[in-house]
Chains A and B, each alone.
Chain A
Amino acid sequence: MGSVSVIDQLKKTQILELLEQGKRIDGRALDEAREIKIEINAIPHANGSARVYLGDTETICGVKIKPDRPFPDTGDRGLFICTAELLPLSHPTVETGPPQPHVIELARVVDRGIRESHMVDVSQLVIEKNKSVIGVFADIVVVDYDGNLFDACSYAATAALLTSTTPKWNWVDELPQLVEGEETPLPVSTIPVSVTMGKIASHIIVDPNGDEWASMDARITITSDSDGNIVALQKGGSDGFTQDEINQCGEISVRVGAKIREVIKAAQKGSQ
């Protein structure tokens, strides 16, 4: 989004001057994420859903679960597919049409964070080996933009998956047949949390808002799992990081991610 949103040069200067004093434009600490509000089951027609507000960034994820054919080389595993889309109503610069590279990157990074954490236990999603498996589709839309879509989309997908239930299918006459009224929670093994950090000059800030996002020189998104392991990472933007900064970002992501995981868990508990 950085390349398309317009920001006043004065604001950029102000953001940098404040950072030189250790302050941020919205008063947060450097390693402080914005307030996260999670609304579970926002879309009752979905098998699981969540609306997430990360500050003024708003995303909705709906999970749909249905029988599907397995990939030829993984007949013993269900499917997990995560997509992300910027809706044209989310920002004046967003246009309809095929997705821009930054949106493709967004969807792939969010998908990778959840996939590589092995959050969804796809080995339990088999109806008939090599013939029919359960597909889990987490589709995310961005409704309102104020920076850091990576994390807002990731939290929406994670919260939606955590609270999803899957129908049951039996294999009858070479076809999957729905068993009415037998829904079980989606098998989930861990809670991945992504933490995106921006670099402005030599300052590292957690969860950049829209103005900060437009002022960043580089960014890094690191996803950690419930055990505090790092499971996925993506660097972006037109500058680099020193090795020390990369190590520092790794530590921040695990520490801040643990706090955010509690917010997601609380939302999950509140929905039960």
Chain B
Amino acid sequence: MGGRDAKMVLLDENGVRCDGRKIDETRRIMIRAGGLKNADGSAYIEFGDNKILVGVFGPRDVHPKHMSNTDTGILRVRYHMEPFSVGDRKNPAPSRREIEISKVIKEALEPAVMLEKFPRTAVDVFIEVLQADGGTRCAALTAASVALADAGIPMRDMVAAVASGKVADTIILDVNNEEDQAGQADMPIGYMPSLDKITLLQLDGVLTPEEYKKCVDVGVKGCKVVYELQKKALKDKYFGSGGN
């Protein structure tokens, strides 16, 4: 992914970050619901320089059959990065990192989707990272929630996601690639605002117990901002309130 400038100032004396943002500001976020013809539901997100496409199929028959569950539907998630999405070419085969992220996103979405209404079926979520720039798992989870809603699958809530973190001893919202590489901590958070439930949470980096609490708080507040944009994307598609 390659740091661009090793001596970059992550946070200057005026509280301005390396890409000009304030400490509690997200990058530019554009979410579009729909767009793919063949998928049952889809979404596209641009989150800073991240560009991610999500397609949802189902509920549909499960193949292989032994994976099906007679009590409930199952959710399957594949998070995949294109070879051209990062600085050096990425091997197109799924890496251990991608397998872990697929699992973490699946478990973040499961509490939101009413799978019990569709026993013996599967809902498949395909996430394709076209361009990556730090924070892909959060952007992907955000878009996947919109795609599931676009597919008309009954949900308890949407999961909104953004990372908080620590850079230059300061807790910040929405960690970009440079901040992730050179910063002190990165905490991706997925949150269902209407239910007050955190469904994705990871951390790497060193935080005091006080910073830990603050980091969760900043992340949850950020998720609420993202949530409004998810709702707007769906409203734009289905109620045509201002095109995109």
Contact = CB atoms under 8 A, between A and B. Distances in A.
A116 B198 contact: no
A251 B209 contact: yes
B192 A240 contact: yes
Contacts of A246: 198, 201, 216
Contact of B203 (A218, A232, A254): A232
Nearest to A250: B212
Contacts of B103: 101-102, 104-105, 236
Contact of A242 (B187, B196, B205): B196
Interface string B7-40: 0000000000000000000000000000000000
Interface string B133-152: 00000000000000000000
Chain A at the B interface: mostly helix, strand, loop or mixed? mixed
Interface in B191-244: 192, 195-209, 212-213, 216-217, 220
A230 B209 CA distance: 6
A213 to B, nearest CB: 15
B18 to A, nearest CB: 19
B197 A242 contact: yes
Contacts of A104: 96, 99-100, 103
Contacts of B198: 235, 240-243, 246
Given A233-B201, A240-B197, A116 B102 contact: no
Interface in A99-152: 101-102, 104-105, 107-108, 112, 115-118
Contacts of B97: 108
B107 interface: yes
A188 B88 CA distance: 33
Nearest to B201: A235
Interface in A75-107: 101-102, 104-105, 107
Contacts, number: 101
B46 interface: no
A225 B204 CA distance: 12
Contacts of B201: 220, 233-235, 241, 246
Contacts of B114: none
Given A105-B103, A240-B192, A250 B213 contact: yes
A239 interface: yes
Interface string B147-172: 00000000000000000000000000
Contacts of B212: 230, 247, 250
Nearest to B203: A233
Interface of B: 96-97, 99-100, 102-104, 107, 110-111, 187, 192, 195-209, 212-213, 216-217, 220
24 contacts: A104-B99, A108-B100, A115-B204, A116-B206, A228-B208, A230-B203, A230-B207, A230-B209, A231-B207, A233-B187, A233-B202, A234-B201, A234-B202, A235-B198, A235-B202, A236-B107, A240-B111, A242-B196, A242-B197, A243-B217, A243-B220, A246-B198, A250-B209, A250-B213
